[in-house]
């Protein structure tokens, strides 16, 4: 995964959904296993409603998720014929119940995706393929080769409550830090953990300043140095830190198309307001009542899920498992 591809993923997500000041956090929700991560993302998939005990609400949520996944795949020109099969094999099956997703990213060699939930390991082994998952006496793991990741394989570790995916070359350090709750967040992500106080559906923070230079981001040419957004039942807002005064003042006009698209996702009573405070542009959703936050959660969830879909069986990824642990002394 290239830096540009990762940034494009962020931009597309933000263009479809959103979120007045944020306070810095002194604690961490979960120890970040990567040194000085530049990006952190959290998704509470259980809030989509697809695991609701009320059958009526569950069926309604499943329909909304399915529609959102069709919509996202269509806009990204991905085949639609595998959408329902993908859902039935994963989150709608009794074997792969995803509750939360947490991810940290620094660069193509240092990132991690963590899925929390209830997982049937034997069923996952069948889905991954016969003899593809190894057990070294302590853990189940496999290695994944993907066309998108040249000269690099992904390490995947599975147990009944957690799945971890990260680059093979840095898996040893990442898994050690994760299992021992060693926090390596550093100074780049100052607010991410604090957002958990409002029990978010979705939260995100990114620092785009690298070695004194702003990293490129195709977000309508706003070039923010820092970005934060949160979606929850009580609060939805986006913050873009833009120190350049001229660009900051221009940003209010530039975000009007985004606000218009957001307004289509919810009821007429919800209002999206863009305002400037200090060196940041804020987009706030007011008078929501939960409609926008739920719609946005479904869109974000659908976007994340399509990243794991394959156009054709075996076309985008190939699983390979070695006969020994990748961890060496």
Quote the mean pLDDT of the chain.
76
Phi-psi region of 7 (alpha: psi -120 to 50; beta: other; left: phi over 0): alpha
Please compute Rg for the chain using Cα positions. 20
Which pLDDT value is given to residue 166?
A: 92
What are residue 230's DSSP bridge partners? Answer: 203, 237
Which pLDDT value is given to residue 198?
A: 78
| Three-point CA angle 244, 249, 251, nearest 5° | 90
In the chain, which stretches have pLDDT less than 70? 1-31, 146-150, 185-188, 210-222, 264-270, 286-290, 310-329
In 3D space, the residue among 41, 69, 9 whose CA is nearest the CA of residue 230 turns out to be: 41
Which pLDDT value is given to residue 257?
A: 79
What are residue 113's DSSP bridge partners? Answer: 103, 165
Q: Where are the domains of the chain?
A: 3-17+31-185+299-320, 192-296
For residues 184 and 115, what is the distance between their CA atoms, to the nearest angstrom? 19
Which pLDDT value is given to residue 236?
A: 85
pTM, two decimals, is 0.79
For residues 252 and 329, what is the distance between their CA atoms, to the nearest angstrom? 54
3-state secondary structure the chain: CCHHHHHHHHHHHHHHCCCCCCCCCCCCCCCCCCCCCCEEEEEEHHHHCCCCCCHHHHHHHHHHHHHHHHHHHHHCCCCCCCHHHHHHHCCCCCCEEEEEEEEEEEECCEEEEEEEEEECHHHHHHHHCCCCCEECCCCEEEEEEECCCCCCEEEEEECCCEEEEEEHHHHHHHHHHHHCCCCCCCCCCCCHHHHHHHCCCEEEEEECEECCEECCCCCCCCCCCEEEEEECCCCEEEEEECCCHHHHHHHHHHCHHHHHHHHCCCCCCCEEEEEEECCEEEEEEECCCCHHHHHHHHHHHHHHHHHCCCCCCCCCEEEECCCCCCCCC
Which pLDDT value is given to residue 23?
A: 39
Which pLDDT value is given to residue 75?
A: 84
């Amino acid at each position: 995964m290239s830096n540009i591809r990762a940034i494009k993923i962020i931009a597309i997500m933000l263009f479809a959904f959103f979120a007045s000041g944020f306070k810095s956090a002194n604690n961490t929700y979960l120890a970040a296993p990567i040194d000085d991560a530049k990006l952190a993302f959290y998704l509470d998939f259980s809030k989509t409603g697809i695991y609701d005990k009320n059958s009526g609400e569950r069926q309604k949520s499943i329909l909304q998720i399915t529609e959102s996944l069709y919509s996202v795949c269509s806009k990204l020109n991905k085949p639609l014929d595998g959408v329902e099969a993908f859902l039935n094999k994963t989150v709608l099956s009794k074997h792969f119940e995803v509750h939360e997703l947490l991810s940290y990213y620094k660069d193509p060699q240092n990132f991690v995706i963590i899925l929390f939930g209830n997982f049937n390991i034997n069923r996952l082994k069948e889905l991954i393929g016969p003899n593809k998952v190894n057990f070294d006496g302590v853990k189940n793991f496999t290695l994944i080769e993907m066309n998108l990741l040249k000269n690099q394989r992904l390490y995947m570790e599975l147990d009944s409550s957690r799945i971890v995916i990260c680059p093979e070359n840095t898996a040893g350090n990442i898994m050690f830090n994760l299992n021992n709750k060693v926090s390596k967040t550093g100074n780049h992500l100052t607010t991410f953990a604090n957002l958990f106080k409002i029990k978010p559906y979705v939260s995100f923070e990114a620092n785009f300043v690298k070695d004194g230079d702003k990293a490129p981001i195709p977000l309508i040419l706003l070039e923010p140095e820092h970005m934060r957004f949160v979606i929850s039942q009580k609060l939805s807002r986006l913050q873009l830190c833009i120190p350049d005064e001229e660009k900051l003042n221009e940003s209010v006009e530039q975000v009007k198309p985004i606000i218009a698209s957001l307004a289509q996702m919810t009821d007429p009573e919800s209002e999206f307001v863009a305002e400037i405070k200090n060196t940041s542009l804020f987009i706030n959703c007011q008078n929501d009542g939960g409609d926008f936050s739920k719609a946005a959660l479904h869109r974000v969830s659908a976007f994340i899920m399509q990243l794991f879909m394959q156009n054709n069986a075996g076309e985008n990824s190939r699983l390979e498992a070695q006969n020994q642990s990748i961890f060496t002394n």
